Structure 1
């Protein structure tokens, strides 16, 4: 499918990957429909999008946990632009905490946003796309949808569920012979977004971006590429690709390494953090941002060091397994 002039709906467009994706499509001359809970942040994104090639942007404040609101989002997109060519499900929230200490209301909220929000988006998008006979649905999952980690149980569950949803939809479309409708899943590694700052947290330690950290623009470029050349799943970030591959060869080793990495580098040992709901139930104020402040030279150096360390450990573990057999 040609990217330019494609009508693109993006949930979670107020920050992080969703925001970077909206701007990436606007730069290609695409009309974009921006959805999230924060109208102020969406207006800031709209202004940035419309600076690129005169792209049009429509703001539709939307809580993705409300199926009627998501149907209204699709209706308004079609009403304004006549069709929906691409729908990107990118809304996401998370909670950090020991399993028995995370409030159940927070656990449910993560699943409601990250799973049911995608279900609502997929239903609204596919209804329009099936009528049109074409379109691309892109679901943003994560490498933790392949390699689990401690203290983010609900988030990891949701990212596994997103992959399962995408696979099931592809199978259904295959049986329906809807060959011009594509469902793609994106699995980013750690991305420089405000997700960690906005997370609910019950660990007593401040969540930080676990190196290696990649830019949200890197994910946005892969999402745009999927419109040109759809693929079932794409992993963003060399470390993510390595972990997904090695998890198939040595799952127990990678599981242990992930546990240690989270404890050492994902939760600060220097900065304590009070318990709180983060942005789960009330959206964060302000104009929002694509980045979370985890970039820069220091993070690049940490990324290289972490990549080298992780790969060395994985290679050593696989070699030990090979010798054992």
Structure 2
């Protein structure tokens, strides 16, 4: 974010009631930033706002939002500008996941996942860029995934959405080079201890878990702030996970071996003991009881 703004910037975080989004909001609050918090779950969002005020944010706007609705995204952007006069940083973090072979994932789940992870991200990014171009400056940080650079079995819908998201971000970086004060970054986590695994859709009837090595949501939030604070325009993509470079290299340099090992590795690392009912999780509608900073133990 612009170096001369310091604490007290206006930061809009989507998916702010849970996981990485909540950790990012709390980290910004501790720095004295003014916040716009959005997610689909109003109750947990109010609790997130309470925590942010307690952590040091002087002003928090609670703005429930389904990012798949472009009109609603634009309306929140307008509310934020009316309240604070500008936006300095937008963190597009909201996302959902689904487990199962592509041919087994119900069509309505597949469509809803892409509506959130790709179209919704595009709506938020578009609103951010329109605002920043008008202002002449601003920072957009999009939270993607290492699965935008490599694939694993039984997460094909999520893989595809994160590949699309990375393409979206790279294109927007190219398109907005004419505004020197406008910066766009992608943060790509590996496994993170967040509720997305408990909340995901599944047709497998198995419990999901973040694969080793597992980062904390605070670790990823620190990378988000680093991306937002970095002035260099070349700082386009940040990994959040020490194993990400090795996994990306293996996927690109030894694809046959990577594919052969991916199924047993996913069975060992991607699923926890025990069963859970198959169903849409929070893909079709929010599950407020599942909103928290970390995965349920």
TM-score, structure 1 as length reference: 0.86
2:60 match: 57
Aligned-partner Cα distance in 1 for 2:118–2:176: 20
Aligned-partner Cα distance in 1 for 2:55–2:72: 28
1:27 to 1:256, Cα distance in 2 relative to 1, 3 A: farther
2:269 match: 265
Could you tell me which of 19, 24, 46 is aligned with 1:16? Answer: 19
Instruction: Could you tell me which runs of 5 or more consecutive residues in structure 2 were left unpaired when the two chains were aligned.
Output: none
TM-score, structure 2 as length reference: 0.94
Q: Secondary structure at the residue paired with 1:147?
A: coil
2:120 match: 117
Alignment pair present for 1:47 and 2:50:
yes
2:189 match: 188
1:237 to 1:68, Cα distance in 2 relative to 1, 3 A: same
Deviation at 1:54, TM superposition (A): 4.3
Cα pair 2:19 2:217 within 8 Å, conserved: yes
Q: Secondary structure at the residue paired with 2:238?
A: strand
Aligned-partner Cα distance in 1 for 2:62–2:212: 34
Deviation at 1:244, TM superposition (A): 2.1
Number of residue pairs matched by the alignment = 291
Instruction: Could you tell me which runs of 5 or more consecutive residues in structure 1 were left unpaired when the two chains were aligned.
Output: 295-325
What pairs up with 1:61-100 in 2 under 5 angstroms? 61-100=64-103
Structure of higher CA gyration radius:
1
1:247 match: 251
Cα pair 1:65 1:116 within 8 Å, conserved: yes
2:205 match: 204
Could you tell me which of 217, 221, 236 is aligned with 2:240? Answer: 236
Deviation at 1:247, TM superposition (A): 3.0
Cα pair 1:49 1:56 within 8 Å, conserved: no
1:264 to 1:54, Cα distance in 2 relative to 1, 3 A: closer
Deviation at 1:289, TM superposition (A): 1.1
The structure carrying a bigger helix percent of its residues is 1
1:257 to 1:179, Cα distance in 2 relative to 1, 3 A: farther
Aligned-partner Cα distance in 2 for 1:275–1:246: 32
1:201 to 1:124, Cα distance in 2 relative to 1, 3 A: same
